[in-house]
Amino acid sequence: MDSSLKKGIYSYFPVVTIAFVGIFILWSVYLIVHASHLQANVQQRVSCISLLRRYEMATKVQQTSLVKETNKKRLWKRWYVQHKKKQATLKTLLTLAPSIKGLTPYLDKLASYQKQFALGVLKQYESKPQQLQAKMLVSLQQSHKAISLVRGQLSTISNELADVWLQLSIIAIISCFWALLVAILIVYFWGRNKTWERDYTALQESEAHNKAILRSLADMTIVINRQLEALEVNIGEDNPLGLTHELVCPLPLETFFPERLLTVFTAALQNLTPFQPHQRIEYTANDNDSFLTLEARLTRVDDERHLAIIRDITEQKQNERLKDEFIANVSHELRTPLTSIRGALSLLRFQFGEEFKDSAQKLLFIAEKNSLQLNRLIDDLLDVQKMTYGQLDFDLEDVELNQLLEGVIENNKPYAEKHDVQFRFFPLPSALWCQTAPKRLEQILNNLLSNAAKFSNPKSYVDVRLQPKERTFLIEVQDYGIGISKQFQRKLFRKFSQAGNTSNKNAGTGLGLNISLRWVEKLGGRLKVKSEPGKGSLFYFELPYKAEDASFVLKETPEHGTSTSVSLEAIEEPPSTT
């Protein structure tokens, strides 16, 4: 987790915790105050009911005395005592009346009845006890109604008080749960904080290590965003762009890139996609007699960033040029004496061969055969040299493809028989004409057929197919031999490449199909291969009927699906095309 997210969690967590605690405290204080108020109301109503019942009890005592007591003095005394109790009770009830809604009217009526039950009134009703009893019953009814009213309010308040206590209990439970959760989170984040600090330290060390590695590299590395700004720049020890100081990023590329390089660089960056995440470009700058060659490898990191690695390959190019010049010079120097040697060997074999013994004739044949092979190697080296510098031209002719393929197959039959392999050609029912360079097309097919025969299993076949299309024709050469691994297919185009499992018997120079690939491209097509180890290989290329349609072929996607433009090892003892 990055530091910004970590800081966000640390900043919000205390705020949320304090907010919850504050809400719970305010809610709890409110409920406690409300509960205290309700409890006071309950106590008032309980006291009120107790006083009303005392009032009823005194009234009932008066009723009993009125019926059973025969002695007037004792009756009056008992009546007076109860009357005083009732007066004191009413006085207390009247103090509670303002806090109990609806109680005052009942108390007013009881007070009026109380005046009627004074001792003097009792003497007036001595002759009419029934009327006094009736009034006392009405008084009791009023007190009963008052008690019912207060009890109803008491029930409502008690229910509300129970709800408050329930809420307080819930708050207590939630508080305990929240305290437990906070404790768990504190322990968790404390542990995570240790992990984050350890990871962050490791990340910083890794970044420092990577930067140290980048600083030690000779290549220049640049991280670029979509706005063509350099986010990170490591100049590199070789400093291929010749910068005189460190750059402060972000920085537009145009501030330190040569204009021509920036144009090529921008075009290559625009071609980077998820399906084509890599690009390679070369840039050469000439300055009078000196020149500079840079190689840039571009990689798409994500939608917003690209990585560029720039390397100075001037010395490498110079070495390659010197190597090519050396090979060309050596090849030219070897050709003249080799021509004399071949001529002398041919003269000996044709004019004096019969005079030699069998063993001498065999040695003469081997010498002539090897001189021929050496001559072809020199020709291949010269062809590669000329094609590298664009110095190899060819003449286009009208060619009938069925006849050309049959002739090439016939020339390669002895080589196939040597490897116990048979060619199978599937000609078209009618003639198919095209405009191409027949000698170069024969050279391409010779390499393909001889390679197919060389790497086929004994007693197997090599199939050759010709397929006409609307504007192009397709030639396929398929064998059922050892096949080519995916790893080796990536480097089959390279000169002098040899498969790791190639025996000395099958080893060639590694130039034949490199030359074939170049010739196919010069003729307006592409050489492709599909192969799996143990299942054989299919080489195919598509060429236009006319030279002006070459651009159409180069834009077309091969019908055979995913494939690789590669070449196999060069042939050994290929049939002569001359």
pLDDT tens by residue, 112-147: 766 666 655 555 555 566 666 676 777 777 777 777
Residue 543 pLDDT > 80: yes
Q: What is the pLDDT of residues 428-444, one digit of tens each?
A: 888 889 888 888 888 88
pLDDT band at 64 (very low <50, low <70, confident <90, very high): confident
Amino acid at 493: F
Which of the pair, 507 or 187, is modelled with greater confidence? 187
Dihedral of CA atoms 197, 200, 204, 207 in degrees, nearest 10, equals 160
Q: Domain segments of the chain: what residues?
A: 3-185, 220-312, 323-388, 397-555
Give whole-number Cα distances, 123 to 70, 116, 282, 441, in Å.
14, 11, 136, 153
Core vs surface per residue 503-539: b (16+ CB within 10 A) or e: eeebebbbbbbbbbbbbbbbbbbbbbbbbeeeebbbb
Indicate whether 568 pLDDT > 60. no
The CATH superfamily label for domain 220-312 reads PAS domain (3.30.450.20)
CATH number assigned to the domain covering 397-555: 3.30.565.10
Which residues, in sequence order, are CB contacts of 318 under 8 Å at separation 6+?
Answer: none
The mean pLDDT of the chain is 75
The answer to whether residue 392 scores a pLDDT higher than 80 is no
Domain with residues 3-185, CATH architecture: Up-down Bundle (1.20)
Helix (H, G, I), strand (E, B) or coil at 572: coil
Quick one: pLDDT at residue 404?
92
Domains 3-185 and 397-555 share a fold: no
